[in-house]
Amino acid sequence: MEVFNKFSRLSTLHRFSLFVAILLFSSSVLLGQQAQPTPTPSSTPEIINNDDDRPINVKTDLVTLTLTVTDVYGRYVSGLSKNAFSVTDNGQEQEITYFSDTDAPVSLGILFDVSDSMSGEKIRKARKALERFINTSHPMDEYFLIAFNSRAQLLLDRTRDGEAVLQKLTLVQPKNNTALYDACYLGVERVTRGTHQKKAMLIISDGQDNSSRYNFNEVRRLMKESDVVTYAVGIMDGADSGSMMGMQGQAFLDELTSVTGGKSFYPQTDVEMDEIFERIALELRHQYSIGYTPKNFEPDGKWHKLKVKVKPPRGLPRLTVRSREGYYATPTTTFR
pLDDT of 21 higher than 90: no
Give 181-237 pLDDT, tens digit per residue.
999 999 999 999 999 999 999 999 987 889 999 999 999 999 988 889 999 999 877
Shared-domain flag, residues 140 and 238: yes
Is the domain of 125 the same as that of 236?
A: yes
Query: Same domain, yes or no, for 279 and 254?
Result: yes
- Considering the domain architecture, whether residues 69 and 162 belong to the same structural domain is answered as no
Please state whether the predicted TM-score (pTM) of the whole model is above 0.85: no
Residue 247 — very low, low, confident or very high, per pLDDT cuts 50/70/90? confident
Residues 111 and 226 in one domain: yes
Pick 21 or 243 by higher pLDDT.
Answer: 243
Predicted local distance difference test score (pLDDT) of residue 121? 84
Q: What is the CATH number of the domain that holds 202?
A: 3.40.50.410
Q: Are residues 298 and 275 in the same domain?
A: no
> What is the span of the domain harbouring residue 281?
106-285
**pLDDT value of position 239:** 60
Indicate if 169 and 307 belong to the same structural domain: no
Q: Does residue 21 lie within any of the structural domains?
A: no
DSSP code for 58: -
Q: Can you give the pLDDT at residue 334?
A: 46
The lowest-confidence range among 20-29, 67-76, 214-223, 226-235 is: 20-29
User: What pLDDT score does 60 carry?
Assistant: 59
When mean pLDDT is compared across 61-65, 117-121, 130-134, 142-146, the lowest value belongs to 117-121
Q: Is residue 40 part of a domain?
A: no
Within this chain, do residues 297 and 273 fall inside the same structural domain, yes or no? no
φ, ψ of residue 70 to 5 degrees: the values are -130, 160
Question: Is there a single domain that holds both residue 154 and residue 264?
Answer: yes
Instruction: Please indicate whether residue 237 or residue 77 has the higher confidence score (pLDDT).
Output: 77
Count CB neighbours of 229 within 10 A: 28
pLDDT at 13: 39
Query: Is residue 41 in a domain?
Result: no
Cβ neighbors of 194 (< 8 A, separation 6 or more) are 107, 108, 142, 144, 158
Same domain as 248, residue 121: yes
Examine the domain organization and report whether 238 and 320 are in the same domain.
no
Which distant-in-sequence residues (6+ apart) come within 8 Å of 25 by Cβ?
none
Residue-level pLDDT at 151: 95
Distances (CA, A) of 246 to 103, 183, 252, 286: 36, 19, 10, 31
What string of H, E and C letters represents the secondary structure of 72-117? CCCCECCCCCHHHEEEEECCEEECEEEEECCCCCEEEEEEEECCHH
Classify residue 322: in a domain, yes or no: yes
The mean pLDDT value of the chain amounts to 82
Q: What's the number of domains the chain is made of?
A: 2
41-66: pLDDT as tens digits: 333 323 223 344 444 444 457 899 99
| Residue 35 falls inside a structural domain | no
Spatial distance between the Cα atoms of 116 and 176, rounded to a whole number of angstroms: 5
Is residue 286's pLDDT more than 90? yes
Question: Which pLDDT does position 169 carry in this prediction?
Answer: 92
Whether 30 maps to a domain, the answer reads no
Judgement on whether residues 191 and 269 belong to the same structural domain of the protein: yes
Spatial CB neighbours of 157, under 8 Å, sequence gap ≥ 6: 144, 190
Q: Specify whether the backbone of 283 is left (phi greater than 0), alpha (psi in -120 to 50) or beta.
A: alpha
Is residue 203 situated within a structural domain? yes
Residue 116 belongs to some domain of the structure:
yes
Query: Which pLDDT belongs to residue 297?
Result: 86
Residue 284 has pLDDT above 50, yes or no: yes
Read off the pLDDT band of 11 (50, 70, 90).
Answer: very low
Give the confidence band of 331 by pLDDT, cuts at 50, 70, 90.
low
